[in-house]
A and B are shown apart, each in its own frame.
Chain A
Amino acid sequence: MSEPVLASASAEGFARVEEICPQGMIAFRGDLEASEVRRALEEVTGLKIPKQRGILLDGERGLGWMSPDEVLILLPYADVPSALSTLQDRLSGAHHLAVDVSDARAVFRISGKRAREVLAKLAPVDLSPGCLGPGELRRTRVAQVAAAFWIDETGAITLICFRSVARYVSDLLMLSANQGTEIGLYEA
């Protein structure tokens, strides 16, 4: 099953905010330097391990740096079980942890030329294009809850938060995107 957490969550303000269908996600912890770990992750995602604070994306798959011993694997929701068993096979001898966290999260997409301003009101992050561009995964907070987001080449932002606060985050994003509350700081 892969339906959005909220029955309907999209709004058009000075930027567009919408909840998107759950993304398959695996939290992986292990020795990111080990060659067998690198090989296994590449087999599952087709991607190398990103640098600190980085995220590599290729179509529906991605690999995001979470901490020195953790990466986030992005993949189609339906592919999670097979990816988990591949990782288990390849890393049977290596100490690691790989768990499905797809259902623990909600995912939002914020798009439009002032998408950055929606988040500038909520996250203590320098959202200027010179500081935050494609290829960076930012773990931070939006208002009072934890969140992570990245920005793609089109300037659209994908934001992940915990499932239980999906309604709160949705309300926040839509409030921040209200027409007439543009800040005039960033325009993509």
Chain B
Amino acid sequence: MSTRLATGGPLIDRDQPVEFSFNGKRLRGFVGDTLASALLANDQMLVGRSFKYHRPRGLLASGAEEPNALFNLGSGGTFEPNARATQTPLSNGLRAVSQNHWPSLDWDIGAVNASMARFLPAGFYYKTFMHPRPFWKHVFEPIIRRSAGLGRAPKAQDADRYEQVYAFCDKLIAGGGVAGLQAALTAARAGERIILFEQAGHWGGRAPVDGAEVDGMPAAEWVAEAVAALTAMPNVTIRLNACVTGVYDHGYVLASERISGVVRERLWRIRAAQVIAATGAIERPLAFAGNDLPGVMLASAVRDYIVNWAVSPGDRTVVVTNNDDAYRSAIALVKAGLSVPAILDARPDVGGQLPEAARALGIRVEAGKGVAKVKGGKRVTGVSVCLQAGEGTVVEEIACDAVAMSGGWSPVVHLWSHCGGKLVWDEAQAIFRPDPRSPPTGHDGEAFVTCVGAASGDLGNADEAPMTPVWMMPQGAGAKLRAKMWLDYQNDVKVSDVQLAAREGYESVEHAKRYTTLGMATDQGKTSNINGLAILSNALDQAIPKVGTTTFRPPYTPVTIGTLAGEARGDVFQPLRRTPMHDWHEAHGAHWEPVGHWRRPYCYLRDGEGIEQAVQREVNNTRQRLGLLDASTLGKIMVKGPDAGRLLDMLYTNMMSTLPVGKCRYGLMCNENGFLMDDGVVARLSEDSFLCHTTSGGADRIHAWMEDWLQCEWWDWKVYTANLTEQFAQVAVVGPNARKLLEKLGGMDISREALPFMGWAEGQLGGFRVRIFRISFSGELSFEVAVPAGEGRAFWESLVEAGQEFGVMPYGTEALHIMRAEKGFIMIGDETDGTVTPQDLGLGWAISKKKDDYLGKRGQARGFLTDPDRWRLVGLETLDGSVIPEGAYAVAEGRNGNGQRNTEGRVTSTYHSPTLGRGIAMGLIRRGPDRMGETVTFPKIGGGEVKARIVSPIFFDPEGKKQDV
């Protein structure tokens, strides 16, 4: 059994016990434990079930590479799936639950998959579930979803907060081992701004565990001094529990920091002039049968648990290796008072310092031997020993509780590779290491990532005997053994799967990866990539460098979605734009409609009123008495300069330069292709200045459009623009009583003579500084009044108060839409969708024939835009008075190649008109205006149809008498 040793463990504080639970069982550990070390200390060897075969799995590693020990942590709002136990600090009350088992971890029904293993080969799902199609959705998928998969998706809203921070430095150092600390000290002493991040909860990496010496000092002491020195320097920021997850172009680096407190995690968004990857190396497993049984661990992890946390993996540990480093684990075990029955070394000759030290401790070293098979069910009970050179004949059985394996080391080259750093195969060490001749390059063509320490390929083992690559143990293993040799623990990929993929023609390593799932999921193949591609290259009979690696993509370790979202949730999920009258609307029953990032009242609900009733009331009241609309969201762009008129003549389809000062004119804007993109009223403020109103959603876009043309094409025109949208609150005062209300406020002559239709005037109204535009989007007598935004709320309230005697009511966007539709006024986004020209909409009158050019003119001359068969705007009057469903298509005779009904038009706006008491609509119909009086048919969803007569789109007051009084 695994247990806590009586002494040792520099990372734990035995005076601070911690209580936690695993699958409901209450367990104890210490402050400084990881969840992994604490579980092992409690003899919890079994930590999960494998992905596909539901095989029992135990801890393999002690760091970021751990593939098996993934847990659901917490519950409700703090639930987190797929948390890696080796990187989860133990805390009081921590609640961990293992994943991927049913009904329990110890007795899992899915384990029958294991006995079916030969029916679940690589590509099983692709091969099996092709036909019949409906089965996929209704039969296969639900079953697979239940039986496969790792953590569960959280269901409750996340109770924690996350944040992001932008940071800048000369050197970003990833990894707080000796190499990283050395690099940091050098750069910091040179006065550079340094950020040093270490993913683990302690400094020093492997060196203190391995008993190394640095600068003649024991590594642990050196590390403590280095950290103290760096902490004292003002130009240095150092963090533990902060993992550099990705390196991107131009020295952009993302790192995720785990913090406990008000904020749970912080995403660092760093611009670094140079990135130093001091990311160390990861030990490789050996591929022998049963290498996934709980109790089989990486030799370095065994050493870590003993030395750092004083946890023994078992009383008797067999070490199996192809290199000298694993001897350190054997020595550490014996020094901790534990037994190492044998070291099985696959190399035929074993000599040198470390093996001799092991022999001196009385450890039996077996050269040229390997593991034929690990024995046991839910944990290791022994190993069968064989000759590495043979086919797996058992020469001896050794009883043991744990197996410490080492297949050599792979430098962590991820950060080097994220931005295109190339790798080179180092035959002697059997590693891919960074190729310094092909680094990732920055804006200046120079390298911006450097690897130091083990990450550079310098494994620090120059004085050790060379390792011998062992990709399979024994090298001549038969099919039965190969089917039990795991390469990728997380995805349940075995040697036999990769070999099958090769036989089936998956020669590219990228294809083989996707076919077998080798190297996928949360650990991204940290322990399996090299072993897997070695097996593949062997099966393909190609050299390893020829096969190559799969692409290293960020993130290095998974980043929570919460961290990526950062602060953007709840109230600040998205900026909400509010007009100066927003709070008034809210207090008066506004039913909101999103318009871009704005919220506009759709209607104002009164007690007991439904939305539809409210809208009808607002329309009727505005048509009969007096309505107020908050029009503040309309874009307002000032265009000024000697060439202002010339610019507007190019931007609008009609002539703006001839507009007299004091007047307004409605205009259309098209893109270069001739399609209508915005509309609005332009007011000429002075000889050289215009105020252009745009749609609410178009303000920023149209301002940018103007600047684009001015800065890039017509840079020599003398025009300045300014977006004044938010400087003014704007209120549309609409209805037969509109003038009476403004006259009551007093201060300006707004008679028909002084301020005629399509005129504007400036002055003081009821003490407010105003600009009044006599424009109408409803067909009623209408004044749009602009005041400085800071006075908007007060102005609105004074209108509401003074308007009581005239029957004033605010109205929302839906009433606005209905009234403009009754008048046949188009709405950008309803009648237009980016494929509609002004000509399609019968707006030919707003297109100047006199101008040489305007944006869109040439586009509109193209043949298909002048085709008389185009769908063009008409009014639609239903024969039965009902409302045509929104988005409905008019059907024509026959069917198209897909068997669908042919169409001859569609509805663009459709409403019940309270003014006319029946359904009205506008639509684009083939040859529409030429077919007045004809009937078209609109099928309804769910059956039935509506017939409508083609009429003029102007349903109400076609002479425009009401607005011009």
Nearest residue, chain B, Cβ from A140: B166
Interface status of B568 (Cβ within 8 A of chain A): yes
Instruction: Tell me the bound Cα distance from A123 to B167 in angstroms.
Output: 10
Instruction: Tell me the bound Cα distance from A122 to B164 in angstroms.
Output: 7
Instruction: Tell me the bound Cα distance from A168 to B574 in angstroms.
Output: 8
The smallest beta-carbon distance between A87 and chain B, in angstroms, is 13
Nearest residue, chain A, Cβ from B790: A103
Interface status of A121 (Cβ within 8 A of chain B): yes
Point out the residues of chain A lying under 8 angstroms from B608, CB to CB.
none
Interface status of A163 (Cβ within 8 A of chain B): yes
Q: With contacts A164-B579, A176-B567 known, is A121 near B262, CB below 8 A?
A: no
Say whether B578 contacts A2, CB under 8 Å: no
Interface status of B397 (Cβ within 8 A of chain A): no
The smallest beta-carbon distance between B348 and chain A, in angstroms, is 55
Nearest residue, chain A, Cβ from B261: A180
Point out the residues of chain A lying under 8 angstroms from B638, CB to CB.
97, 99
Point out the residues of chain A lying under 8 angstroms from B193, CB to CB.
128
The smallest beta-carbon distance between A167 and chain B, in angstroms, is 6
The smallest beta-carbon distance between B506 and chain A, in angstroms, is 43
The smallest beta-carbon distance between A80 and chain B, in angstroms, is 10
Point out the residues of chain A lying under 8 angstroms from B161, CB to CB.
175
Say whether A175 contacts B722, CB under 8 Å: no
Say whether B722 contacts A143, CB under 8 Å: no
Task: Encode A157-176 as 1/0 by CB contact (under 8 A) with B.
Answer: 00000111111100110011
Nearest residue, chain A, Cβ from B632: A164
Instruction: Tell me the bound Cα distance from A124 to B721 in angstroms.
Output: 27
Say whether B578 contacts A103, CB under 8 Å: no
Say whether B262 contacts A180, CB under 8 Å: yes
Say whether B718 contacts A168, CB under 8 Å: no
Point out the residues of chain A lying under 8 angstroms from B237, CB to CB.
184-185
Say whether B574 contacts A144, CB under 8 Å: yes
Say whether A143 contacts B568, CB under 8 Å: yes
Say whether B168 contacts A168, CB under 8 Å: no
Say whether A121 contacts B165, CB under 8 Å: yes
Q: With contacts A124-B269, A162-B726, A183-B165 known, is A167 near B720, CB below 8 A?
A: no
Q: With contacts A172-B572, A176-B567 known, is A164 near B164, CB below 8 A?
A: no
Say whether A165 contacts B575, CB under 8 Å: yes
Say whether B722 contacts A29, CB under 8 Å: yes
Interface status of B789 (Cβ within 8 A of chain A): yes
Instruction: Tell me the bound Cα distance from A67 to B689 in angstroms.
Output: 21
Say whether A168 contacts B720, CB under 8 Å: no
Chain A interface bracket (under 10, 10 to 19, 20 to 34, 35 or more): 35 or more
Interface status of A52 (Cβ within 8 A of chain B): no
Point out the residues of chain B lying under 8 angstroms from A2, CB to CB.
790
Point out the residues of chain B lying under 8 angstroms from A22, CB to CB.
790
Task: Encode A100-127 as 1/0 by CB contact (under 8 A) with B.
Answer: 1111110000000000010011111111
The smallest beta-carbon distance between B892 and chain A, in angstroms, is 46
Task: Encode B685-728 as 1/0 by CB contact (under 8 A) with A.
Answer: 00001000000000000000000000000000010111011111
Say whether B261 contacts A175, CB under 8 Å: no
Task: Encode A63-105 as 1/0 by CB contact (under 8 A) with B.
Answer: 0000001000000000000000000000000011101111111
Point out the residues of chain B lying under 8 angstroms from A144, CB to CB.
568, 574-575
The smallest beta-carbon distance between A177 and chain B, in angstroms, is 11
Say whether B163 contacts A101, CB under 8 Å: no
Q: How many residue pairs between the two chains, A and B, have CB atoms under 8 Å in the bound complex? A: 126
Instruction: Tell me the bound Cα distance from A178 to B579 in angstroms.
Output: 28
Which of B568, B574, B722 has the largest number of chain A CB atoms within 10 A? B722
Say whether A99 contacts B168, CB under 8 Å: no
Say whether B641 contacts A164, CB under 8 Å: no
Say whether B724 contacts A101, CB under 8 Å: yes
Say whether A95 contacts B262, CB under 8 Å: no
Interface status of B576 (Cβ within 8 A of chain A): yes
Say whether B720 contacts A1, CB under 8 Å: no
Say whether B572 contacts A143, CB under 8 Å: yes
Say whether B728 contacts A103, CB under 8 Å: yes
Interface status of B640 (Cβ within 8 A of chain A): yes
The smallest beta-carbon distance between A168 and chain B, in angstroms, is 4
Point out the residues of chain B lying under 8 angstroms from A122, CB to CB.
567
Instruction: Tell me the bound Cα distance from A126 to B794 in angstroms.
Output: 41
Point out the residues of chain A lying under 8 angstroms from B580, CB to CB.
163
| Beta-carbon contacts under 8 Å, A15-40 to B | 22, 27, 29-30
Point out the residues of chain B lying under 8 angstroms from A185, CB to CB.
165, 167, 237
Interface status of B562 (Cβ within 8 A of chain A): no
Interface status of B642 (Cβ within 8 A of chain A): yes
The smallest beta-carbon distance between B274 and chain A, in angstroms, is 16
The smallest beta-carbon distance between B686 and chain A, in angstroms, is 10
Q: With contacts A1-B791, A121-B163, A181-B163 known, is A97 near B722, CB below 8 A?
A: yes
Instruction: Tell me the bound Cα distance from A120 to B724 in angstroms.
Output: 29
| Beta-carbon contacts under 8 Å, B724-753 to A | 724-728
Q: With contacts A97-B638, A126-B168 known, is A163 near B722, CB below 8 A?
A: no
Say whether A1 contacts B790, CB under 8 Å: yes
Interface status of B825 (Cβ within 8 A of chain A): no
Which of A29, A97, A105, A176 has the largest number of chain B CB atoms within 10 A? A97
Point out the residues of chain B lying under 8 angstroms from A27, CB to CB.
722
Instruction: Tell me the bound Cα distance from A95 to B572 in angstroms.
Output: 41
Interface status of A152 (Cβ within 8 A of chain B): no
Interface status of B263 (Cβ within 8 A of chain A): yes
Task: Encode B110-126 as 1/0 by CB contact (under 8 A) with A.
Answer: 00000000000000000
Say whether A99 contacts B726, CB under 8 Å: no
Task: Encode B61-76 as 1/0 by CB contact (under 8 A) with A.
Answer: 0000000000000000
Which single member of B165, B263, B271 contacts A120 (CB below 8 Å)?
Answer: B165
Point out the residues of chain A lying under 8 angstroms from B567, CB to CB.
121-122, 143, 172, 175-176
Point out the residues of chain B lying under 8 angstroms from A175, CB to CB.
161, 567, 572
Instruction: Tell me the bound Cα distance from A144 to B689 in angstroms.
Output: 32
Point out the residues of chain B lying under 8 angstroms from A181, CB to CB.
163, 261-263
Q: With contacts A120-B166, A125-B166, A128-B193 known, is A145 near B575, CB below 8 A?
A: yes
Say whether A97 contacts B727, CB under 8 Å: no
The smallest beta-carbon distance between B633 and chain A, in angstroms, is 8
Say whether B167 contacts A163, CB under 8 Å: no
Nearest residue, chain B, Cβ from A105: B726
Point out the residues of chain A lying under 8 angstroms from B721, CB to CB.
97
Instruction: Tell me the bound Cα distance from A178 to B263 in angstroms.
Output: 10
Say whether B598 contacts A164, CB under 8 Å: yes
Which single member of A3, A126, A163, A183 contacts B726 (CB below 8 Å)?
Answer: A163
Say whether A131 contacts B727, CB under 8 Å: no
Interface status of B788 (Cβ within 8 A of chain A): yes
Instruction: Tell me the bound Cα distance from A32 to B486 in angstroms.
Output: 71
Instruction: Tell me the bound Cα distance from A70 to B418 in angstroms.
Output: 41
Point out the residues of chain B lying under 8 angstroms from A178, CB to CB.
262-263
Instruction: Tell me the bound Cα distance from A79 to B935 in angstroms.
Output: 64
Instruction: Tell me the bound Cα distance from A3 to B791 in angstroms.
Output: 9
Q: With contacts A97-B722, A99-B724, A99-B727 known, is A164 near B578, CB below 8 A?
A: yes
Instruction: Tell me the bound Cα distance from A179 to B263 in angstroms.
Output: 10
Interface status of B577 (Cβ within 8 A of chain A): yes
Point out the residues of chain B lying under 8 angstroms from A5, CB to CB.
790
Task: Encode B486-528 as 1/0 by CB contact (under 8 A) with A.
Answer: 0000000000000000000000000000000000000000000
Nearest residue, chain A, Cβ from B576: A168
Say whether A171 contacts B572, CB under 8 Å: yes
12 further A-B pairs in the complex, CB-CB below 8 A; given A95-B641, A123-B166, A126-B168 = A29-B722, A101-B722, A121-B165, A128-B168, A143-B572, A144-B574, A164-B578, A165-B576, A168-B571, A172-B567, A181-B163, A185-B167
Measured CB to CB, the residues of B under 8 A from A are 161, 163-168, 193, 237, 261-263, 266, 269, 271, 567-568, 571-572, 574-580, 597-598, 638, 640-642, 689, 718, 720-722, 724-728, 788-791, 794
Measured CB to CB, the residues of A under 8 A from B are 1-3, 5, 22, 27, 29-30, 69, 95-97, 99-105, 117, 120-128, 131, 143-145, 162-168, 171-172, 175-176, 178-181, 183-185
7 contacts across the A-B interface (CB closer than 8 A)? A29-B722, A97-B720, A103-B728, A103-B791, A121-B567, A181-B263, A183-B165
Give 7 closest A-B pairs by Cβ, nearest first. A97-B720, A164-B577, A104-B726, A103-B789, A104-B727, A180-B262, A126-B168
